[in-house]
Structure 1
């Protein structure tokens, strides 16, 4: 029983990972302006950033939100900057921090992807139902919490 459950669980996780990876990659892989899901989420998080604003998203918040390392965030920022979607500037009020802002091209790609995402989400909700989507979100959050607990327990050993 546990062997079958383990295989089914891994297969489901792989399908979910493949689904998430393909959604923003349709027709974009290998192109200069290709954007993956984590990059899209990062763009959304920094969309309102501005020099001197009190509400800027900090890189530590992004690392925590995406559950990725500092190096992975830096790599994503470098990729987005190379594509011309963001700029990075030292915060003049606190030189320890960077202010990451969207370029006009970054705002355009974000608007384009937002339209696709909104349309796709509405279609998925129509097929799955709102309650099932909410249930899925709860299960994913529960899985993430369980993995974090296990990882913290392993670090303490």
Structure 2
């Protein structure tokens, strides 16, 4: 197997195993027809509400997307014979063919990128990406900064050694020093956490 093929497989596993909130949010950025078609191709028949939940779309937006897919012959909507209040959405053979073509095109492009980076830089990238995803897996939007024990366990689960960077920033200590000086991180002297966006949690500074 060529190194770029191996790199693609490794990166796919890294991204899948990461389970980070960041990657889940990135996957929700593309909420249009491609996202709906991928969901149907992977999960099989779905209801509109299930598609809305999976792709982060509103019910009205999903209805518009499904109408467009039906007109193109890429999906169908039928009444559930067991519950006539429910609509069943299925991808058509033509829709499945297009999803496979798009998936193959994306894989080919990523292999091309690895080829351009070269084997050494690709290896460095994958190692760093593994570490990045491992750190991000500990950073939920409302989670405090994880301690050394939690970080070490996360790296152990990822199957990689935990060797903290020599020049890393101790965010907890930094925040404590800032609070002692009467200044909230990112604010002006005298500001308090309540003055800032409530989503601006400690882990956001990690």
TM-score (norm 1): 0.52
Distance 1:139 1:98 in 2: 38
Q: RMSD of the alignment, in Å?
A: 3.7
Q: Shift of residue 119 of structure 1?
A: 2.7
CA distance in 2, matches of 1:90, 1:139: 42
Aligned to 2:39: 45
The range that moved more, 82-91 or 40-49, is: 40-49
* Structure 1 equivalent of residue 60 of structure 2: 71
User: Which residue is equivalent to 2:129?
Assistant: 132
Aligned mates of 1:138, 1:65 — CA distance in 2: 25
Tell me, which stretches of 5 or more residues in structure 1 are unaligned? 1-16, 22-35, 50-55, 151-157
- Equivalences, count: 109
Structure 2 segments unaligned to the other structure (5+ residues)? 1-25, 143-197, 200-206
Could you say which structure has the higher helix fraction?
1
Provide TM-score, normalisation by structure 2: 0.41
Q: After TM superposition, give the deviation of residue 121 of structure 1 in Å.
A: 4.3
Structure 2 CA distance for aligned equivalents of residues 71 and 137 of structure 1: 36
Equivalent residue for 2:23?
A: none
**How far apart, in 1, do the equivalents of 2:93 and 2:62 lie?**
21
Alignment partner of 1:74: what SS? Answer: helix
> If you compute each CA radius of gyration, which structure gives the higher value, 1 or 2?
2
After the TM superposition, which of the residue ranges 114-123 and 82-91 deviates more from structure 2?
114-123
Cα displacement (A) at 1:129 = 2.2
Report the 3-state secondary structure (helix = DSSP H, G, I; strand = E; otherwise coil) of the residue aligned with 2:78: strand
